[in-house]
Structure 1
Amino acid sequence: MVRAWFMDDDPSDQRSEHQLNPPEFLELAELFNNTGVEYFKLNGATYESDGLLDKIRRERGYSYEDEIVCSKECLPDYENKLKNFFTEHLHTDEEIRFVIDGSGYFDVRNGKDDRWIRIEVIAGDMIIIPSGIYHRFTLDTKNFIRAKRYFVGEPVWLPYNRPADEMQCRKEYLRKLETGFAA
C-alpha cells in the first residue's frame, strides 16, 4: 500500500524521506481530500491481462502511453534531469504514473496550508496527480524507477514552474479544492 506523509522542509538530500519526527502519515482518503491525488494498486504480474488497467484507461480516456526509465545508466544528464524533476511545477493535464519497477517519491502541496506531502511509489502503484497542483518528483536512494505514463490524446509535457497561479488550470484546481474532488 502506498505511503504518504507530511514532509519537513529540510533542503538537504531530496532522495531521503525527510520525515517529521514522528512522521505524520495520511490515509488515502485524506490524501485525496487534501490534494485530489488518486491512487490505484495494480498487480505487477497480471496488469496486462486482468482488465483493471484497461478499465481505468477506458473510463478516463487515456489513449496514449509510453514508458520512462530513470536511472544513472538510462537517463542522459542524470543529475540535471533529477534537479529539473524536483523543481516545483504544475501541468495543464493530469500526470499519470504506473510504476512497473523501482521506486521514487512524488511530492505534492496540500491545499490547506501549502505543506509538502511526500508520496512513496513502488512497483504496482498508480497515481494520478491532478492538473493545476504544484508538485515535484525525485528518485529515492535506490536511484531507479521504470514507469508507464498515460495521456488523453497526444502527450503534453510542459512544466510551469511556480509561481503559475494565474493559469486557468491552477484556478480550476483551487476551485475543486474548495468544493471537493470527485473520484
Structure 2
Amino acid sequence: MAVDTLNPSLTAPVQLKEEAKKPIPINAWYYNANGEAPCTPHKYTPNQEVSTEHLEKLGVLTWTHIETEDFEKNQFLNKIKAVRGYNYEEVLTVTPGKLPNFEENTKKFFMEHLHDHEEIRFILDGVGYEDVRDFDGQWIRIEIKKGDLIVLPPGMYHRFTLDEDQYLKALLLYQGTPSRIQFEKKPETDDMEVRLDYVQSVLASERQAPSEAEDKVLAATTKALEAISV
C-alpha cells in the first residue's frame, strides 16, 4: 500500500464541543451475489438494509459525519483515539497511480480474511465497501465514505473493495505497533486463537442462546460507544 504518513499520535483526552453531531446510521445492506463486479453496490430489489444495532451485535463499531478538514485537530476524532488507545496512524490512498501493484493489491483486499487486531479506518475522501459475515455467514456490505469511521473486531472475516470511482483516502489507526498483516480464510486460519475467540464470544454463543448472547455483545459495543460521549 502507498503510505503517505506514519506518525505516533500523542493526543490526550479532550472535551467535545460542536463537532460531535447526532448519530446518523452508517449505510449497510445484505450483499446480493448477482455476478456483477465487486465495485458495484450489490443490492437486492428492494434493498435489504442492515441496522447499525445489528452491526454492533457483530462487534462492529461505527461513527459517521466526522469532519475531515484539519482532522488532526478534530476534538471528536481525538477523543475516539484517546479513549480507545489508538496511538499510531498512517494515511494511505487506494487508487490507480497511488497504490503500488494496484490490481494485485485490490484483489488481495477483496479476498476473505481476518486480522489478529482491530481494523480501524477513518475515511478522509472517496467511497469503499467493507463486507462482513453475518451470524449465518451471509455477507453484509457496509458503505464507508468521507467522514465515516469503522472498527472491525479481531477475528472477524471480512473483505474490502473500492466503489466504481476507484478512489479512497483513509486514516488507518492502530493500538500499538502498526500492522497490516491479513490472514486469508483457510482451515488453519479458522483454528487461530483470535478466530476461535470471536466465534465463541459472538457467533457460537449466539446460536446457543440468541437473545442472551446478542445482548452481551451489544452491551459491550454500546459501552464502547458510550465511552465517547457527545
Normalized per residue, which structure has more helix? 2
Secondary structure of the residue aligned to 2:73 is: coil
Correspondence 1:13-52 to 2 at 5 A: 13-33=37-57, 35-41=58-64, 42-45=66-69, 47-52=71-76
Computed over aligned residues only, the root mean square deviation of the Cα atoms, in angstroms, reads 1.3
Residue 168 of structure 2, aligned match among 145, 163, 166: 145
Residue 14 of structure 1, CA deviation: 0.4
Larger deviation, residues 42-51 vs 5-14: 42-51
| 1:155 and 2:186 matched | no
| Rounded Cα–Cα distance in structure 2 between residues aligned with 1:155 and 1:65 | 8
Structure 2 SS opposite 1:106: strand
**Aligned-partner SS, 2:179:** coil
Bigger strand fraction: 1
**1:113-151 deviation line (CA, Å, top 9, x unaligned):** 100000001100000011000000000001000000011
* Corresponding residue for residue 86 of structure 2: 62
Cα distance in 2 between the residues matched to 1:125 and 1:73? 24
Contiguous gaps of at least 5 residues in structure 1: none
Measure the CA separation in 1 of the matches of 2:111 and 2:40.
16
Quote how far apart the aligned CAs of 1:46 are. 5.8
Output the CA distance in 1 between the equivalents of 2:34 and 2:122.
28
Specify the alignment match of 2:99 in structure 1: 75
Aligned length: 181
Letter paired with 1:115: Q
Give, in whole Å, the separation in 1 of the partners of 2:61 and 2:196: 19
Q: In structure 1, what is the Cα distance between the partners aligned to 2:177 and 2:38?
A: 31
* Structure 1 stretches of at least 4 aligned residues deviating more than 6 Å after TM superposition: none
CA–CA separation in structure 1 for the residues paired with 2:142 and 2:59: 13
C-alpha deviation, 1:21, in angstroms: 1.7
Q: TM-score, normalised by structure 2?
A: 0.75
Counterparts of 1:50 and 1:12, CA distance in 2: 38
Question: Unaligned stretches of 5+ in structure 2?
Answer: 1-23, 206-212, 222-230
| Larger deviation, residues 71-80 vs 129-138 | 71-80
* DSSP 3-state at the match of 1:22: coil
Q: Which position in structure 2 is the counterpart of 1:124?
A: 147
2:196 maps to which residue? 171
Deviation at 1:23, TM superposition (A): 1.2
